[in-house]
C-alpha cells in the first residue's frame, strides 16, 4: 500500500483535502507599491535631514573660521529643494507618456532604481560638488515623478471599481510612512556612523527592492504567471462591466 504525499499548502478538514487560500496578487502589488513609495519618501527625508545636519556643522565651523564644510546655507538648501521639485513636475509629464507606451510595472521599477542609484551618487558628492548636486537632485525629481503615473496606470488593469479607492490609498500611504521611518532611520544611522550613512542605506534598499518587484508584479492580470483564474476573471469582468459616461451623446443632445 502506497501513501500519496500531501502538499504543504493543503490542510485536511472533514476528511477532505482543501487548499489554503492564497493572498490575491493585486494585494501583493499594492504592498510592493507601498514599500516602493516608502523608499522614495525615505530617500527624500534622508537627504533633507543630511542637508540640515551639514548646515549645522557648517555653522559651527564658520564660527571657528573653518570654511571646509562648504556653503550649506538656508538659501542653498532651498535651491536644492527647488531643483528636485522642478524635476518632479517634469517627471509627472514624462511618466504619463512612458506609462502609456511601455509596461507600467517596468516604468515604476526603473524609476525607483534610478532614484536609488542617484541617491548613492548624491551621498558621495554631497560634501564636495554642490553645483553637481543640484543637477543630481533634478534628475532624482524626474525619476520620482515617474512613479505616480506608473502606479495609476498599473491600477487601471488591476483595481476592480469597488476596490480602486482603497488600493490607491493603501499604495500612496507609503509616502507618509516612509517619511516617518526615514527620520528614525537617519537619526539612528547618524548617531552610530555619519550623516551620509542613511543616504547610502536607502539607496541600497531601493536597488534591492527592484528584484522582488519584477518577480511579483506584472503589468496586468492576464500577463501574471501566478495569478489565480478566479482572481483574473473577477478583475477582468469587473473592469469590463464599468459603465462609461457617454459624453458625446450628451453633447449631441444639448445641440
pLDDT, tens digit, for every residue of 134-161? 999 999 999 999 999 999 999 999 999 9
pLDDT at 57: 67
Domain segments of the chain as ranges = 24-220
Taking 50 as the threshold, does the pLDDT of residue 72 lie above it? Answer: yes
The position carrying cell 483535502 is: 17
pLDDT at 192: 85
Output the average pLDDT for the chain. 83
Q: What is the pTM of this model?
A: 0.81
Residue 137 to residue 143: CA distance in whole angstroms: 10
Mean local confidence (pLDDT), 203-230: 93
pLDDT at 149: 95
C-alpha cell at 205: 534598499
Greater model confidence, 41 or 241: 41
Q: Which of 154, 153, 152, 120 is nearest to 139 (CA)?
A: 120
The DSSP element (H or E) to which 222 belongs, if any, is none
CATH of domain 24-220: 1.20.1250.20
**Residue 130: is it exposed, middle or buried by C-beta count within 10 angstroms (0-12/13-18/19+)?**
middle
pLDDT at 77: 86
Residue 106 to residue 108: CA distance in whole angstroms: 5
Amino acid at each position: 500500500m502506497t501513501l500519496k504525499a500531501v502538499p504543504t499548502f493543503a490542510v485536511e478538514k472533514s476528511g477532505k483535502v482543501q487548499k489554503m487560500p492564497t493572498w490575491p496578487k493585486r494585494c501583493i502589488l499594492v504592498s510592493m507599491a507601498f514599500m516602493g513609495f516608502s523608499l522614495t519618501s525615505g530617500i527624500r527625508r534622508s537627504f533633507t535631514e543630511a542637508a540640515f545636519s551639514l548646515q549645522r556643522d557648517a555653522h559651527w565651523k564658520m564660527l571657528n573660521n573653518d570654511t571646509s564644510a562648504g556653503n550649506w546655507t538656508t538659501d542653498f538648501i532651498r535651491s536644492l529643494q527647488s531643483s528636485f521639485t522642478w524635476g518632479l513636475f517634469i517627471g509627472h509629464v514624462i511618466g504619463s507618456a512612458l506609462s502609456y507606451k511601455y509596461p507600467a510595472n517596468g516604468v515604476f521599477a526603473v524609476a525607483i532604481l534610478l532614484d536609488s542609484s542617484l541617491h548613492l551618487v548624491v551621498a558621495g558628492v554631497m560634501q564636495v560638488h554642490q553645483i553637481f548636486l543640484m543637477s543630481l537632485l533634478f534628475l532624482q525629481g524626474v525619476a520620482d515623478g515617474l512613479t505616480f503615473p506608473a502606479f495609476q496606470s498599473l491600477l487601471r488593469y488591476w483595481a476592480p471599481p469597488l476596490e480602486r479607492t482603497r488600493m490607491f490609498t493603501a499604495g500612496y500611504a507609503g509616502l507618509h510612512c516612509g517619511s516617518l521611518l526615514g527620520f528614525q532611520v537617519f537619526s539612528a544611522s547618524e548617531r552610530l556612523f555619519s550623516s551620509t550613512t542613511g543616504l547610502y542605506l536607502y539607496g541600497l534598499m531601493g536597488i534591492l527592492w527592484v528584484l522582488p518587484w519584477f518577480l511579483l508584479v506584472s503589468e496586468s492580470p492576464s500577463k501574471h504567471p501566478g495569478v489565480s483564474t478566479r482572481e483574473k476573471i473577477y478583475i477582468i469582468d469587473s473592469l469590463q462591466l464599468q459603465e462609461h459616461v457617454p459624453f458625446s451623446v450628451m453633447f449631441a443632445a444639448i445641440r
